[in-house]
Structure 1
């Protein structure tokens, strides 16, 4: 099967799920989830696998064991292509439309220390700045969780203190409801966007060990 876009029914499903996040709603609409969301997401990522590798399609169920919010279902469907631990390419569909992303989404203390050491380095740090600058110039949004203060061992006036504060580092493009999400052209759009983020992921792989 080939990917032909996400349908309006996929967006409607998540609009409705945000209003009624219940087992009864899910069971009544599970076929819509399967045919309009899960299957197209697999078709989409399969078409990208030749260049980027196989994707992990996330389960739709939330882990509510330690959460105050006990709603059982995620209000988006995500897929992720790993290139290193908790690092890789990302795409999701939900009520706000389609989002494309990449970056590192979690890091062990040792790995985060390695990344920060590279950011501090006189050559590797400016290289990351140039990569981030190029992505921002191409309208990528820089995100991730950050410290409110300087990480231990780094001065507040460090020239790359904003990067050093990151505990995770992501970039994202929000396609929203652009017509491209309803067509096969979404494959090429994601392919082009993920290619733009490859230098960032390559940098993280090289310096995150």
Structure 2
């Protein structure tokens, strides 16, 4: 059971940022395992159990990243990550194919939310086509998002909208090629106790209707095919 991160967790994250080399990591590996990786797994397990109970038919899985960077993608960086995260999602050969719940802990703070990292262009085309068929459903979700203060919508946008939005409220959904509904915070006290578990559960419960909306997009007709509308 997750009992909280510790000061050693934070010290390790800052330590690996400024000492990103094998000798330092090996000397502090036990701290990484016991104060960083293991608590992250325990937190991920609890939130996975919570979400699986809420959506038992979705075949959800839990993943916890490892600290080791892919040697093929170092790009001049050190061999270790300075943050860890867990995700809860449907299994897929391409992990970016489905909407994902996540939590990430970094030296400066933490974040959590739900969204797509790199959805297929077809997925976003299906989203726009679904909104065209029934704009009221997404308008309701967008208004609900605007009435709360925990999450914000972050997007990566095309230079030009892919098509005309049916209303000004829905315009952002027609410009984006990926998005996250995300909360970002500093290193708050709740991280060091079980309070963060309740915070994440409340947040994920709020996000479930959005997840339900997006997770079914793959089953929508291809808008490029005749008669798909």
Which TM-score band (shorter chain)?
A: 0.7 to 0.9
Q: What is the RMSD computed on CA atoms of the aligned residues? A: 2.2
Aligned counterpart, 2:18: 19
Aligned counterpart, 2:40: 41
Paired with 2:100 and 2:194, the residues of 1 have a C-alpha distance of 23
TM-score by length of 2: 0.80
Paired with 2:18 and 2:142, the residues of 1 have a C-alpha distance of 37
Aligned counterpart, 1:58: 65
**1:62 and 1:119, CA in 2 relative to 1: closer, same or farther beyond 3 A?**
farther
Aligned counterpart, 2:8: 9
**1:134 and 1:150, CA in 2 relative to 1: closer, same or farther beyond 3 A?**
same
Q: Is the 8 A contact 2:110 2:184 kept in 1?
A: yes
**1:65 and 1:134, CA in 2 relative to 1: closer, same or farther beyond 3 A?**
same
Paired with 2:123 and 2:69, the residues of 1 have a C-alpha distance of 27
Unmatched segments (≥5 aa) in structure 1: none
Asked which structure has the greater RCO (Cα within 8 Å, sep 6+), the reply is: 1
Report how far residue 198 of structure 1 moved.
0.7
Q: Is the 8 A contact 1:145 1:168 kept in 2?
A: yes
**1:107 and 1:97, CA in 2 relative to 1: closer, same or farther beyond 3 A?**
same
Out of 154, 157, 161, the position equivalent to 1:146 is 157
Paired with 2:6 and 2:147, the residues of 1 have a C-alpha distance of 31
Q: Is the 8 A contact 1:3 1:44 kept in 2?
A: yes
**1:156 and 1:17, CA in 2 relative to 1: closer, same or farther beyond 3 A?**
same
Aligned counterpart, 2:191: 181
**1:31 and 1:206, CA in 2 relative to 1: closer, same or farther beyond 3 A?**
same
Number of corresponding residues: 204
Paired with 1:66 and 1:184, the residues of 2 have a C-alpha distance of 35
TM-score by length of 1: 0.87
Aligned counterpart, 1:135: 145
Unmatched segments (≥5 aa) in structure 2: 53-60, 92-96, 220-229
